[in-house]
Structure 1
């Protein structure tokens, strides 16, 4: 008896392995997937400007990266004792403008440097609703608790999104002809406009991706939204607010992504890295005990073995922690 309507995921003409360079942009769902890639030591850059929810804000961030924009103090604004950027999430804000600029420019410089060698750009849109700062005439990534009278709120049209991204992806492909772009729509619901408003927003995003794939090559789609709505289809797969997805659901979607886009050749290596991560995270009752010290040496040997075969994998944090635990 089949108790699910299983979503079919089209087999892509590429696969991700440990030589792949990835960047993930978009909503907190992009953060969830990006953290999985980071956990397994893939070369991934996640949201260099912080969490972003709508297509135009993602496009703004991509232009900053393409142009190698360096922020100056005049690009910031002060609000309620914090220096903020309208392009950035609040995680970059600070009471010290120099600290704010350092955080912003360090991440943007890294992202710009990675752009030409990226293999896959993953973009997750969460909503078609945007806030436009009237005086600055720009769709913002975050309102930073600036008074609402300074903004105009509206829903993007299909044409708004498609026109923007046809031009933008063209620029990206000029810089990096081998770049592939994978779109997803976040399954997290935006309830501010009610059930119908959320559905209209998600429908706009889905139709925009469909039109872009008709117009452009090397664009792909991963049906995270449909997996949650159709395969899972139950509130037990949601967090307590009934809008965000649970940790179990993130793991489930990651598994569907894993077996669709990641090379089977690296699954064994991922399992080895996962065991190392669990071992390093373990808090022993007695760190100086013989049993635990043998475990530490075993993990150090495993890291050394993997590093010889895969020097691109960064174990610097794990090595430092294990060296401290072993007293070496």
Structure 2
């Protein structure tokens, strides 16, 4: 008997190799895939404004990056002894206003360049629920614990999400016509919104994404949400909060992503990188022993050979 419903995936064209340049933007699931790509030493640029959950926040970041927006004092505010920006996650917040502005404008310039040169852009959508700041009538990327009475909570319609995704794709393709854009919906459950509300939110995202994907324009969908909900489908694959995928689930979804999107020709290199990474993480009982010194020399030689063979790999 088969106690699983495995999702049958097909390999895509325009696959990722060590000449690819990757940009990942969106929810915390983007962070998980980004960490895997970074571990295996693919050229990766991830979430310059920190984690962004909704399509409008992602669209705003890409719009501002492409237009090289200059953030100024009017785009920031102080709360709880830190300076924040509604467009960015609290990870970007700073103790001084100048430091925050430096962070924001530096990230904008980097994102502009990365989007221009990217071969693959992965956009992970987390939720269709958004918070509109009443004072400016704008949807924010992060509320930064500003009192909730200052916001209106809204659910984006399928049409609103579709329009946002279309704007995002047009903007990217305008400066980088050859980029492959991969959309995915985060399997993280936003249960603070409610069980029914979370399902409706994910349904809106999935419905909108499937109206925009087209192989002809290099717009693709990777089913991380479906792998988690319909393939793994068990609480043993969740972390203790019962909302986030645990390490086992993340590794499984990574293997599916690898099968679909990573060029098989790189698999031997991935294995070699993994060996080196584990060697670098090794902690000896006696760091001055002859055996350990020989181990370090062998490891150094492996790194030198790999970096020489593939210039994009750096340890």
- TM-score, length of structure 1 as denominator length: 0.93
Asked if residue 231 in structure 1 is aligned to residue 197 in structure 2, the reply is no
Distance 1:215 1:140 in 2: 31
Q: Are the equivalent residues in 2 in contact too, given 1:129–1:154 (CA < 8 A)?
A: yes
Describe the SS at the equivalent of 1:116: helix
Dislocated runs of 4+, deviation >3 Å? none
> In the comparison of the two structures, how many residue pairs are matched?
315
Asked if residue 149 in structure 1 is aligned to residue 157 in structure 2, the reply is no
- Residue by residue, what CA displacement relative to the aligned partner does 1:246-291 show, whole Å, maximum 9, x if unpaired? 1110001001111111000001101111111111111222211111
Describe the SS at the equivalent of 2:194: helix
Distance 1:166 1:216 in 2: 15
Q: Which residue of 2 aligns with 1:279?
A: 279
Distance 1:224 1:167 in 2: 23
Distance 2:31 2:277 in 1: 19
Distance 1:3 1:188 in 2: 23
Q: Which residue of 2 aligns with 1:7?
A: 7
Distance 1:168 1:126 in 2: 16
**Structure 1's 268 and 179: CA in aligned 2 closer, same or farther, altered over 3 A?**
same
Measured after TM superposition, the shift of residue 138 of structure 1 is 1.6
Q: Which residue of 1 aligns with 2:128?
A: 128
Asked if residue 55 in structure 1 is aligned to residue 73 in structure 2, the reply is no
Q: Which residue of 1 aligns with 2:184?
A: 184
- TM-score, length of structure 2 as denominator length: 0.97
Q: State the Cα RMSD in Å.
A: 1.4
5 Å-filtered alignment, 1:179-258, equals 179-213=179-213, 217-258=217-258
Unaligned runs of 5+ in 1: 316-328
Unaligned runs of 5+ in 2: none
Q: Are the equivalent residues in 2 in contact too, given 1:166–1:216 (CA < 8 A)?
A: no
Q: Are the equivalent residues in 1 in contact too, given 2:158–2:207 (CA < 8 A)?
A: yes
